[in-house]
Structure 1
């Protein structure tokens, strides 16, 4: 009887510990059209959306230095012109749900390659 009670307490403790330390799953980014790179103003694919499909473009002013998340369904490059040309290549399948603290705070344009 004592062993059974101890086992029940151990299992309950383990379940409580797991539920307290579980990390909620990251929110999935919204879909992005085929052969495009989608940029969102805020993290987790929220806010204004810009869809890039090829060629070099300067980003609309509301996206310059303010890309919070992205999903790439083609290759391309994120470009910053602030101190010359700084470039980050992007491949199909790349994504970031929170990009604003990284290169998303520098992006000025998107192109086919660096």
Structure 2
């Protein structure tokens, strides 16, 4: 009897954990200017500080403005996008609801980024 009770408790806890995990995007802590499902906010400094540029997926491919070119310190992503460096060609896949407060120093790609486009990274873009 005790073993079946423990199994039932385990199942309930597992179910609640999976339910919470499946609703994780509902608790995304950052608010966007418009629809949080289609924007990425870039910052020139780590810790979401400095100048701010908002990319919207309706913009298609965007070459980052001069102050962000090779100078993204942090970002907040509400959608799946691809960060790109043209020379040498390099891409970084960023998925929906990802946040990085120190992007330039963690993998150094923030100091090399040229542009961004909506969706998954591809071997051939055009």
Common topology (TM > 0.5):
yes
> Aligned to 2:66, what secondary structure does the other structure show?
coil
5+ unaligned residues in a row in structure 2: which ranges? 1-28, 122-126
CA RMSD of aligned residues (A): 1.6
5+ unaligned residues in a row in structure 1: which ranges? 1-28
Question: What TM-score do you get using the length of structure 1 for normalisation?
Answer: 0.69
Question: What TM-score do you get using the length of structure 2 for normalisation?
Answer: 0.63
Give runs of aligned pairs for residues 1-114 of structure 1, distance below 5 A.
Answer: 31-33=31-33, 34=36, 35-54=38-57, 55-83=60-88, 85-101=89-105, 102-112=108-118, 113-114=120-121
After the TM superposition, which segments of 4 or more aligned residues of structure 1 sit over 6 Å from their partners? none
| Paired residues of 1:32 and 1:71 also in contact (CA < 8 A) | no
Residue of structure 2 equivalent to 1:26: none
Residue of structure 1 equivalent to 2:6: none
Q: Is the deviation greater in 67-76 or in 29-38?
A: 29-38
Deviations along 1:67-99, one digit per CA (max 9) or x if unpaired, are 00001001101000121x210111111111011
